[in-house]
Amino acid sequence: MASQWADVPPYPPDSVGGNNGPDPWIAIGPMARTTDGTHPSADPPTFRESQFDIILRRQRMRPVEGGGLKDTLATASRFLNLSNDFEFAGWGKFLKLSLTSEDRTVGEERIQCIRRAKLLGQFTGAALPGIAVLGGVFYTLPAVVAVSGVYSPISLFMATLALFLWRPIMEELASVLPMSGAPYSYILNIARKSLALLSATLLLLDFASTSVVSASTATSYLAGEVVLPFPTFVGAVLVLVIFALVSLTGLKESTRIAFVVMALHVGTMVALTIAASVHWARTGNAQLQRNWAEGQPPTRTAIAHQLFNGFCLGMLGLTGVECTPSYIGAIKPGRFPLVLRNVHLPAIVLNTIMITLVLATVPLEQVISGANVLSVLAGMSAGPWLRRWIVVDATVVLCGGVLTGILSACELFEQLARDRVVPQMLLRVLPFSGAPYISVLVFTAISAILYASAGASLSVLSKMFTLVWLTVMGLFPLALLLLRFNRGRMPGTRTTPLSLAFFVLALTAVVFAGNIAIDPSTAGTRLMRAVYWIYDQYPVLHRCSGSKMWGKALVDAMARLKRQPVCILVKTDAINLLLHMLLYVRENEETSCVKIVHFYDEENDVPSELEANAKILDEAFPEITIDLIIVHGMFSPANVASLAHRLQIPSSLMFMSCPGPEFAYPIAEFGARIISL
């Protein structure tokens, strides 16, 4: 190597520095020859040339054994007494390979496998999300009417139209990154993995919530019509297990089942629409006029408020559409926009028509009560036979939402396993169906744990599902912005204006805040505390009269949220147990009022130190008012329900310790949450 540069002068003779010193641009000693090999180049080397020469020089100057650029011995070791040679990965090799015919055969077969996996068309691909989206009519209508009243048709129509804003975003992302597991797979390819894992967590929680809420709603809907031989939570668990077994038949068979279910549901809704329309034509507009008169807000501001609240809750009628990109790898090329269309347009028609027919036929107070609204509409329109038909359809369709969540989660698990985020065993499939049985079992277990952690409470799950779904929908415009910024060169359809992505992201935040405003318990006061802390950091704002009013309003709002009391059902006066239960309440519930309740039969059954310990705890928690209530009677589900009515505290806000194996009553009958051993 040294002879190669023997005849090359160290510096060019006509350098700016003359013969007295090196030229300013020279970074290394030897210079490259000209193309004819006779004269050294007088032009400065490019950055690439200089860097390459530096690397060559460093490797020549260092011995191969124990040196070079990867010399671990030259760096400090965390091991003071032992060798760190095992941390040296070794030197790389330069190889030349030629692909054999066997290599090419295997590669072609893998490509064909990927292509054969794209087996879903525009209708079969729309079946899975369509079940969840079109099934939302059973639980969306009462919720929207409760906050929007007679203006519910307008609110719900506007909410379903909002998906037109998301569709071009989802279509562009799918054209650029047509891979399953979205939006996790989108963000994984365009941003940091930590953000992608966060999106995967949200997706998994969304899918689990979809399955659990669908199963619980289906059982509750059925329980509202017939007397079940088992508690509602048992029925929900049975639904989860049954559809987990259905999903083991494989994706292709599952989508066929979903398509049949969706077709039957559409037929049922058509029959109900015809029957209700005929009934409306016979009875006239009398009921609609009564509902309009009873539900008319007093002011225009109240009307606008009702429209906004109805729009926020009406967006939940689209839950399920976020599952569509999760299995886009199984959808035939070019069919994804058609799948979104086939899911979206029926949702607009179905929700708007049904809410109008309900208000024209069913008394407003009955709708707001949260009864099985569509079955009531069917009974009033055509009699018991149609009502039973609607009940069966509702049960089947809502159960189909469980299948949507399971299959979407399996696609996500597959992507996570392939990315080595979760164990590779989740990729194992059944030989006869190709279904990922371990993924199905794991997801079913996660759903069951989620259901149990919420105390088998549908209201708690629904509130969580609301915010999780909105957060997941916000991932799509975020992914598009990151795609344009970080991966703008990737091929694909670029039709979405960036302004639309920013608008949709802002709309998601508005709807998120709107749902919190409708039911503040979904977010609690911690967000308000954060805002209040930020306000506290700027003393200049405290001198502004308008700012003072705003700060006082924020404090009043937090105080109102914390007025909701909770109840702790206790058996003992052990202060350590009482302390643990109070700490749970303080960390998990936004309340400033706790009622400790003890049931007793005889006067001497009251623990002797219960009153004294309650007063000690009341002093120890200045931010919480602790009341002690002694109730005469047996500790039974009936008495606890009576107490809930007396105190006006829902059973979901009553907490108890875990009973023993000899406890005389089923836990589910209490409706209370178990928070300690």
Local confidence band at 510 (pLDDT 50, 70, 90 cut-offs): confident
Question: CA-CA distance, 208 to 217, in Å (whole number)?
Answer: 14
The SS3 call for residue 655 is strand
Report how far residue 387's alpha carbon sits from residue 244's, in angstroms, rounded to the nearest whole number.
Answer: 28
Please give the pLDDT value at position 520: 58
- pLDDT at residue 16 in the model: 39
Rounded distance, CA 335 to CA 162, Å?
A: 21
Backbone angles phi, psi at 499, to 5 degrees: -60, -35
Domains present along the chain, CATH in parentheses: 1-72 (no CATH), 121-521 (1.20.1740.10), 525-559 (no CATH), 562-676 (3.40.50)
What pLDDT score does 164 carry? 92
Percent of the chain past pLDDT 70, that is, above it, reads 75
Tokens read off for 439 = 């993924």
If you average pLDDT over every residue of the chain, what do you get?
77
* Nearest alpha-carbon partner for 495 in 474, 480, 505, 473: 480
Would the pLDDT of 650 be above 80? no
| Composition of the chain by helix, strand, coil, percent to 5 | 65, 5, 30
Tokens, residue 389: 């038909």
Q: Name residues whose C-beta falls within 8 Å of residue 314's C-beta, 6 or more positions apart in sequence.
A: 140, 144, 148, 152, 155, 156, 158, 159, 160, 351
Average pLDDT over residues 470-480: 90
pLDDT, residue 521, reads 53
- Please report the pLDDT score of residue 67 as a whole number: 45
In angstroms, the first-to-last Cα distance of the chain is 77
DSSP string covering 276-308: HHHHHHHHTTHHHHHHHHHT--SSHHHHHHHHH
As a whole number of angstroms, the distance between CA 17 and CA 10 comes to 13
Residues 6+ apart with CB under 8 A from 456: 216, 232, 233, 236, 668
> Which residues are CB-neighbours of 656 under 8 A, at least 6 positions away?
568, 569, 670, 672, 673, 674, 675
Contact of 336 with 180, CB cutoff 8 Å: no
Determine if the peptide bond prior to 183 is cis (ω within 30°).
yes
- Max Cα-Cα span within the chain: 113
| pLDDT at residue 532, rounded to an integer | 61
pLDDT the model gives residue 26: 38
For residue 559, what are its two tokens?
A: 């105080």
CB 656 within 8 A of CB 672: yes
Instruction: Tell me how far apart the alpha carbons of residues 670 and 651 are, in angstroms, rounded to a whole number.
Output: 7
What would the mean pLDDT of 579-607 be, rounded to a whole number? Answer: 81
Q: Is the predicted pLDDT of residue 31 greater than 60, yes or no?
A: no
Query: Average of pLDDT values for 16-37?
Result: 44
Above 60 in pLDDT, residue 2? no
- Please state which of the ranges 17-21, 237-241, 259-263, 578-582 shows the lowest mean pLDDT: 17-21
Q: Name which of 12-26, 331-345, 486-500 the model is least confident about.
A: 12-26
Apex 30 CA angle, 25 and 31, nearest 5: 65
| Partners of 40 in the β-ladder | 33
Residue 14 has a pLDDT of 42
Q: Which of 367, 317, 375, 363 is nearest to 155 (CA)?
A: 317
> What does the pLDDT look like over 353-388, one tens digit per residue?
999 999 888 888 888 776 678 888 888 888 889 988
pLDDT for the residue 666: 65
How crowded is residue 70: how many other Cβ atoms within 10 Å of its Cβ? 11
Residue 345: pLDDT band with limits 50, 70, 90 = very high
pLDDT of residue 276: 92
* Backbone torsions φ then ψ of 566, nearest 5 degrees: -125, 160
Which stretches of 317-400 are assigned E, i.e. beta strand? none
pLDDT > 90 in the chain, percent:
6
Looking at per-residue pLDDT, the higher value among 552 and 633 belongs to 633
Q: Smallest Cα–Cα separation from 209: which of 297, 316, 121, 283? A: 316
CB atoms within 10 A of CB 495: 11
Residue 161's pLDDT is what?
92
In single-letter form, the type of residue at position 315 comes to: M
**Do residues 458 and 138 make contact, with C-beta atoms less than 8 angstroms apart?**
no
3-state class of 629 per DSSP? Answer: strand
Residues 460-465, mean pLDDT to the nearest whole number = 76
Model confidence pLDDT, tens digit, residues 201-220: 888 888 888 888 888 888 88
Q: Which residues contact 2 (CB under 8 A, 6 or more apart)?
A: none
**Highest mean pLDDT: which of 172-186, 206-220, 418-432, 606-620?**
206-220
Minimum mean pLDDT range among 61-70, 362-371, 434-443, 642-651: 61-70
Q: Which run of H or E residues covers position 288?
A: helix 286-294
Strand partners, 655: 568, 673
Q: Bigger pLDDT: 294 or 10?
A: 294
Which tokens go with 221?
Answer: 């809907």
Given a cut of 50, is residue 604 above it in pLDDT? Answer: yes
| 3-state SS assignment for residue 430 | coil
Tell me which residue has tokens 């191969």: 64
Section 54-69 average pLDDT: 50
**Picking from 108-122, 134-148, 191-205, which range would have the lowest pLDDT averaged per residue?**
108-122
CA atoms lying within 13 Å on the CB side of residue 102: 0
The predicted pLDDT at position 531 comes to 64
430's tokens: 């059944």
Tokens 């795609």 locate to: 483
Q: Which residues pair with 654 in a beta bridge?
A: 567
pLDDT digit string, tens, across residues 516-573: 666 655 555 556 566 666 666 666 666 666 666 766 676 666 667 677 788 888 888 8
Q: Is the pLDDT of residue 414 over 50?
A: yes
**Are the C-beta atoms of residues 236 and 212 closer than 8 Å to each other?**
yes
Write the burial class of residue 7 (CB in 10 Å: 0-12 exposed, 13-18 middle, 19+ buried). exposed
Distance CA 411, CA 409 (A): 5
Query: 27-54 burial, b if ≥16 CB within 10 A, otherwise e?
Result: eeeebeeeeeeeebeeeebeeeebeebe
> Taking CA 33 as the corner, what is the angle to CA 28 and CA 38, rounded to the nearest 5 degrees?
140
> Whole-angstrom Cα distance, residue 634 to residue 670?
13
| Three-state DSSP string of 16-63 | CCHHHCCCCCCCCCCCCECCCCCCECCCCCCHHHHHHHHHHHHHHHCC
**What pLDDT is recorded for position 538?**
64
Measured distance CA(501)–CA(507) in Å, rounded: 10
Instruction: Say what the pLDDT of residue 270 is.
Output: 93
Average pLDDT over every residue of 102-128: 77
The model's confidence at residue 628, banded by pLDDT at 50, 70 and 90, is: confident
Top-confidence residue, 555 or 512? 512
pLDDT of residue 277: 93
CB count in 10 Å sphere of residue 589: 18
Which stretch of 14-28, 116-130, 240-254 has the lowest confidence by average pLDDT?
Answer: 14-28
Flag the least confident range among 240-254, 374-388, 545-559, 595-609: 545-559
- Structure confidence at residue 61 as a pLDDT band (50, 70, 90): low
